[in-house]
Structure 1
């Protein structure tokens, strides 16, 4: 009967038989596969996979990421080789003889000029292709500037804490309280003469608080991790702990955010150029600048604005899709 010594002995014998070697006569109590005691607790052999490799295995099966990556790759390749494959010089007025202010201010599509020309007789297709390089240059440099500034502030706040963290975060809060496009417009307007570099600087300053707050949060999460506590217990100085242990492990979300910010930087750069705060020399075309120059002709020749607008939308969409896919792959909470 249950509870008697003989019953307890029978239960112990049944449990022990489940741990017997597969070649022994004792089988499992429930008819399952017998497991040797020496094999208990072992993990299946195989190499470990890093976080980024695991994310890549998911991304290469994600059609959203692949679609966005295809757009980004095509944009980068076009920006690199555009001056070599453009059918005409973007600054040459090849169809100026067809421009008539009263009857034909904008030459339409024709052989050799599939998208026509602008109000100065310059080939629109060539200007769009070469403008990709200027747009990419502004977006990348502005994002890098914001990333470096944000990393500096975020590292100071996350590594030292205390009053340093309070001062840095109050500055960041003030910057975040101002709408990004309004602050970029104000910064660019302070310069005496607008140029491409004023746009880059204005957008970079706008992006600094975004990276600073994100990196600061990641650094604070790393401060109490096991490997950081172990380094402190071993007497490692704060500098190596910050730059060898905390900062590298906190850069994952920042890299993902940089991809998303790049799309925002391209849109903001186009907006500032549209408002006349970009490079005034239209011999070096840029998509936002082309939008601004097409404004007087939008009623009669809307294609001058539609083409650069579509380019901006498609490229920003590509970077956004890549950034969102990276975020979902690296963050278990938002992973599909």
Structure 2
């Protein structure tokens, strides 16, 4: 082979490579517009059957709880079946026309009390989760933003609360009240929820402290509290919102457990599923359906919130999108 042709071949190969690169650079590339995290999550969620089932259960529960007093066929304080209650032979009236599920031991319509009881269950669950979320946001923001000894102090308090089983802690707080009521349930369950939200938000805030946009804001001289509330906190709220959905299911179960133990609202004119479950234990052998219906409602509603929360967590998790 002639060695004088070697530089020519190299130049020709280099020129062809340069022309190829120039052609690729000059070619028009069709770029798709960016998709936000929320839009991407919703695109995945609407194709997820588990999320759709959980959403259907949750929406049905909320709607029924909102309109329950208007669609209940009987007044929950009335006793239309009282004349059929016979302690020796028929302590609990069974189903009959006009009374889909029959009555309880006081002749009250069971179906109406289940419908109206859904409202009390929803109120306790929502307010307990909301107060727990607010308390957790406060502690988590302080610990994650300030750091140092403040972070250590707050986290040691959170560790102490987390070391006690949640139901035992809620039972202890609720038993301190002079008289049990609906608000004692809400406060007790909210205190249980506070350390969960605080630890989760604190971890997310610490991750945001070393992010690029926070460092850029500091280099521009933005005030520290403006960085916390405008940059760190909004970007750390995603996991907390998902946890709130899951905590709502736990709050409903804990509220039912405390009501079953007699620490809820003692006023039977305002029925609640846990309260109904506690009253039914006296007739568990003669009329097990008195316990089956409220227990089934609690399980189905808690399952709906859990399915929806788990689907949200997976949709918003960057690792699950790979």
- TM bucket (normalised to shorter chain) is over 0.9
Partner of 1:327: 313
The residue number in structure 2 matching 1:240 is 226
Question: Any idea what SS the aligned residue of 1:197 has?
Answer: helix
The within-5 A match list for 1:169-208 is 169-208=155-194
In structure 2, the partner of 1:10 is 12
- Residue of structure 1 in register with 2:260 after alignment: 274
CA distance in 2, matches of 1:20, 1:165: 55
- Find the partner of 2:91 among 71, 84, 105: 105
Which residue of structure 1 lines up, in the alignment, with residue 124 of structure 2? 138
1:238-266: CA deviation from partner (whole Å, max 9, x where unpaired): 11100011000000000000000000000
Show structure 2 runs of 5+ residues with no match. none
> Does the C-alpha gap of structure 1 residues 221 and 18 become closer, same or farther in structure 2, counting only changes over 3 Å?
same
Counterpart CA distance in 1 for 2:26 and 2:95 is: 79
For structure 1, list consecutive stretches of 5 or more residues without a partner in the other structure: 22-34
The offset of 1:316, in angstroms, is 0.2
CA-CA distance at 1:67 after TM superposition = 0.5
Bigger relative contact order, structure 1 or 2 (CA pairs below 8 A, ≥6 apart): 2
Using the TM superposition, give the Cα deviation of residue 317 of structure 1 relative to its aligned residue in structure 2, in angstroms: 0.2
- Per-residue CA deviations over 1:103-138 (Å, capped at 9, x if unaligned) read 111000000001000000000000000001000000
| 2:65 is equivalent to residue 79 of structure 1 | yes
- Residues 165 and 43 from structure 1, CA distance in 2 versus in 1: closer, same or farther, beyond 3 angstroms? farther
Alpha-carbon distance between aligned partners in 2 of 1:335 and 1:203, rounded to the nearest angstrom: 34
User: 1:38 is matched with which residue: 26, 48, 54?
Assistant: 26
Question: Partner of 1:122 in structure 2?
Answer: 108
Q: C-alpha distance in 1, partners of 2:230/2:68?
A: 40
CA displacement at 1:335 relative to structure 2: 4.8
Deviations 1:168-199 (A, max 9, x none): 00000000000000000000001110000000
Is residue 256 of structure 2 the alignment partner of residue 254 of structure 1? no
Whole-angstrom distance in 2 between the partners of 1:19 and 1:294: 79
1:160 and 2:151 matched: no
CA distance in 1, matches of 2:54, 2:86: 42
Residue 90 of structure 1 aligns to a residue whose secondary structure is coil
Give 3-state SS (helix, strand or coil) of 2:319's partner: coil
Please state how far the C-alpha of 1:50 moved relative to its aligned partner: 1.1
Structure 2 Cα separation of the partners of residues 99 and 16 of structure 1? 96
Corresponding position of 1:54: 40
How well do the aligned residues superpose, as a CA RMSD in angstroms?
1.5
Length, aligned pairs only: 320
Match of residue 29 from structure 1: none
For residues 21-41 of structure 1, the C-alpha deviation after alignment (integer angstroms, 9 at most, x for no partner) is: 5xxxxxxxxxxxxx3x334xx
- Structure number having the greater helix percentage: 2
Specify the alignment match of 1:311 in structure 2.
Answer: 297
